Amino acid sequence: MKKVERINIIMRYINNRAHFTISEIMREFNISRSTAIRDIREIEAMGMPLVAEVGRDGGYFVMNSSVLPEVRFTDNEVKALFIAFMATRNQQLPYLKSRQSLAEKLLGLISENQQDDLVLLNQILLFEGTNPNNPDLLDLSDLPHPMLEKLIQILLLDSYLLITINEEKAIKSYPIYLLHLYREKSFWLIEGFNLKEEKKQIFPVDNLTNVEPYQTKNRLSKKKIIEKLSKQEEVINLVLELGPKAIAQFKKYHPIKVSISYTNPYQTTAILKTFINVNNSEELTEITNWLLFLGEDIKVREVPEEVLEGLQERIFLYCP
């Protein structure tokens, strides 16, 4: 590990602790006592407010209410942040406007040589959703749904929500306990427990017209919600064995609720278990198409009859 990188990590290490000793630094970073002392002295010279304690068990602690020295990024950390910005461009993410000021601050912190590296990376790296004719780091051409940030801000305070959804020209409100907010196939979705109907439901954020905290005094506790969900647990009805080619396809795309368990240490075989709601025509069609996408490198242990019929229809259509 380079000295600059080690000192940066040590600074973060000691800043997160009320007290530390030279021996702890030696063990944590596998360095000699003289190196640890030199690093601590250099950190003190940079302005980190350390106070030494005298005595047999003495050490150091960071003074409270003190201004810490300016953060320094290593070359690899700068590249990691920059590539993360590029990879998330045009992905309809929340707080996208704040990313512009964040990027400007990052660029202002780094050296000219680091900036030159980023210019080169910006020219040669392209990600999905990037416009090659305008690959600007600060481009904000695909803002998310305007309700998304409001939803997240309320969620940070309360998971009990009253959401209003536009459903085929009819406006409906649902009191929910939000379980997850996730993104699938470029759409943001709310997975919530409907507090009136006492069942789990999925709501698209794109149809959201309003969201506010659910103020009722008769809220169902989180413990009760989890108990009811566990009783409603769907019975697994799709079980597949995946070979290496199918696993590669799975990694390219899979529905958010589907996961696999590897069955050998080389991760070349896996098993997939999930529940398919055969009464949901949209989900049935999606799963059928996805199974065809996985390819031939699968063995079916268990499959709903409706899914099997859908596969047979599509295979028949594809045959000349």
DSSP letters for the chain:
--HHHHHHHHHHHHHT-S-B-HHHHHHHHT--HHHHHHHHHHHHHTT--EEE--STT--EEEPTT-PPPPP---HHHHHHHHHHHHHTTTS--TTHHHHHHHHHHHHHHS-HHHHHHHHHHHHH---TT--TT---TT---S---THHHHHHHHHTT-SEEEEEEEETTEEEEEEEEEEEEEEETTEEEEEEEETTTTEEEEEEGGGEEEEEE---S-PPPHHHHHHHHHHTPPPP-EEEEE-HHHHHHHHH---TT--EEESSTTS--EEEEE---TT-HHHHHHHHHHHHHH-S-EEEEE--HHHHHHHHHHHHHH--
User: Which residues contact residue 196 at a Cβ distance below 8 angstroms, ignoring those fewer than 6 apart?
Assistant: 174, 175
Give the lowest-confidence range in 40-49, 242-251, 255-264, 265-274. Answer: 40-49
Instruction: HSE, CB side, 13 Å, CA atoms: give it for residue 196.
Output: 8
Domains of the chain with CATH codes: 3-62 (1.10.10.10), 73-144 (no CATH), 147-231 (2.30.30), 238-318 (no CATH)
Q: Residue 159: pLDDT above 90?
A: yes
Q: Residue 204: pLDDT above 80?
A: yes
Is residue 86 within 8 Å of residue 127, measured between CB atoms?
A: yes
Average pLDDT, the chain: 81
Q: Residue 210: pLDDT above 90?
A: yes
Both structure tokens of 208: 């959201």
Under the banding of pLDDT at 50, 70 and 90, the label for residue 298 is very high
Total Cβ atoms within 10 A of residue 294: 21
What tens digit of pLDDT does each residue of 17-60 get?
A: 767 888 888 888 889 988 988 888 888 777 777 777 755 556 78
pTM, full prediction: 0.58
Under the banding of pLDDT at 50, 70 and 90, the label for residue 63 is low
Specify which residues 164 forms β-bridges with. Answer: 173, 210
Mean pLDDT of 260-287: 88
Under the banding of pLDDT at 50, 70 and 90, the label for residue 85 is confident
Q: Whole-angstrom Cα distance, residue 147 to residue 210?
A: 7
**Amino acid 309: pLDDT:** 87
Q: Whole-angstrom Cα distance, residue 16 to residue 111?
A: 27
* Strand 199-204 with 187-194, pairing: antiparallel
Give the lowest-confidence range in 36-40, 121-125, 235-239. Answer: 121-125
Total Cβ atoms within 10 A of residue 110: 18
**Amino acid 90: pLDDT:** 65
Mean pLDDT of 187-211: 90
Which amino acid would we find at residue 260?
Answer: I
Under the banding of pLDDT at 50, 70 and 90, the label for residue 65 is very low
Q: Residue 121: pLDDT above 50?
A: yes
